[in-house]
Structure 1
Amino acid sequence: MSEHAALIAPAAAEFAGILRGIGETEFAARTPCAEYDVRALLNHLLYWGPWLEAAGRKAPPPEVATGEAEAALVGPGWLDVAERQTARLVDVFGTPGAWQGMTALGTAQMPASIVGDMVLGEFVFHGWDLARALGRTIDVAPEAAEAVYVSAVAMGEQARSMKVYGEEVTVAEDATAFERALGATGRNAAWTL
C-alpha cells in the first residue's frame, strides 16, 4: 500500500536509534526471536537488507557467496553499514513508486507492496526485538502499528509455514494494535530478558 510509504522514515528513525544503543557486550543477549541472539539478529538484518532494497528498486538481487547462517556481517563498522542500509531502504520505500506493481525478492515474484510491508515490519518488529533484548522500549506510531498488524494477519499463514513467524500468541481483548501485531507474528508482548 503506497500510503504506507509515509510510515517508513519514522519507523526507520526509531529503529536506527535502537541500533545506536547496541554495544559489543550486548551481542550475546537473547532476543524474543528464539533462534537469534542480538548478533545473529543484526546479521539477519544486514544480510536481507540488500535483498529488500533490490526488490524495492525492481533490480536484480545481490550476488552473495554464502547464505545468512554462514555470513559474518557483524564486525567492525557494522553500525555504519546498518545505518547506511537503513537510509537506503528509507530512500527506496519512502516513495510511493516502490510500493507499486510487481517485483522479485530473490526468485519469488510478488506485489511490491508486500515487500514494502516487509521492510516496515523489519523496522518495527525487529526494532522491538532488539529493544527488548536491551531492556528498552520502542515507540511505534499508531498508524505503523495498524499497518504491521494488517500485514502480519495477511501474511500469517504463509509466514508460519515458512517458519518466519511463530504460532500466533493470543492477546487480551483490549490489546493495542501493536500488541495484536506482535501476537500475530508469534511474539509475546510481555516477553522479558
Structure 2
Amino acid sequence: MSEHAALIAPAAAEFAGILRGIGETELAARTPCAEYDVRALLNHLLYWGPWLEAAGRKAPPPEAATGEAEAGLIGSDWLDVAERQTARLVEVFGAPEAWQGMTALGTAQMPASVVGDMVLGEFVFHGWDLARALGRTVDVAPEAAEAVYASAAAMGEQARSMKVYGEEVNVAEGATTFERALGASGRNPGWTP
C-alpha cells in the first residue's frame, strides 16, 4: 500500500484548509460522529496524532498521562498545534518506507500499511466530519476515495467491534465511491447538522 503515500499530502492539505475555517463559536457544533462535537473531535485528532506518528516512525508510543476524554487539548493554540501535527504526519506517511513492514500502535502489532491507511482515513473521514459540522463541503480526490473505501470495507467489521466505526450505513444505488466509503465507515453521506 505504499502507493497510498502519495495521497497523504493532498488529503492533508484539504484537511488543514477545513481546520483553518473553524471559528471559536463552531467548537460546540455537532458532528456526524455522534459522540463528538467539533471540540471533542479536534481533541481526538490531537490525542491520537502522536500515536500515529510514532507508529509511522516505528518508534515507541508517547506516554499518555490521561485518556483521550480527559486530555483537554483544545487550547487557544489548537490550530497551530494541529497544523504542526498534520505536517509531521505528512512528512512521515508521505514516505513509502512508513508503509512497509510491521509497526506497533500502542501495544498492538500490525502492518505499517494499516496505520498509513488510518492516517489517510483520519484526514479524509474526519475532514468530512468537520466540514459537514460546519455546513461545508470537502474535496476528496478519486484515488483517495478508492483507498479509504478499500480500507473501510476491509477493516469494517473489526473497526465496528472496537467501536471505531458505527454500524454500516446503506447508501443509494449509484452512490459515489466516497459515499460508499462513508457508509462503510458508519457515516450517513446525507448527514446534516
TM-score category of the 2 structures, normalised to the smaller one: over 0.9
Q: Distance in 2 between matches of 1:158 and 1:7?
A: 24
1:1-193 aligned within 5 A: 1-193=1-193
Shift of 1:70: 0.6
Q: Which amino acid aligns with 2:140?
A: V
SS in 2 for 1:110: strand
Q: Distance in 2 between matches of 1:123 and 1:150?
A: 15
> What percent identity do the matched residue pairs reach?
90
Give unmatched runs, 5+ long, in structure 2. none
Q: Which amino acid aligns with 2:180?
A: R
SS in 1 for 2:132: helix
Give unmatched runs, 5+ long, in structure 1. none
Q: Distance in 2 between matches of 1:173 and 1:190?
A: 14
CA offsets 1:80-111 (integer angstroms, 9 cap, x no match): 00000000000000010000000000000000
Q: Distance in 2 between matches of 1:104 and 1:79?
A: 28
TM-score (norm. length: structure 1): 0.99
Shift of 1:76: 1.1
The RMSD of aligned alpha carbons is: 0.4
SS in 2 for 1:188: coil
SS in 2 for 1:74: coil
Structure 1 consecutive aligned stretches of length 4 or more whose deviation exceeds 6 Å = none
- Mean Cα deviation higher: 166-175 or 131-140: 166-175
In the alignment of these two chains, the number of paired residues is 193
SS in 2 for 1:73: coil
Shift of 1:21: 0.3
CA offsets 1:100-137 (integer angstroms, 9 cap, x no match): 00000000000000000000000000000000000000
Shift of 1:64: 1.2
TM-score (norm. length: structure 2): 0.99
Q: Which amino acid aligns with 1:123?
A: F
Shift of 1:173: 2.0
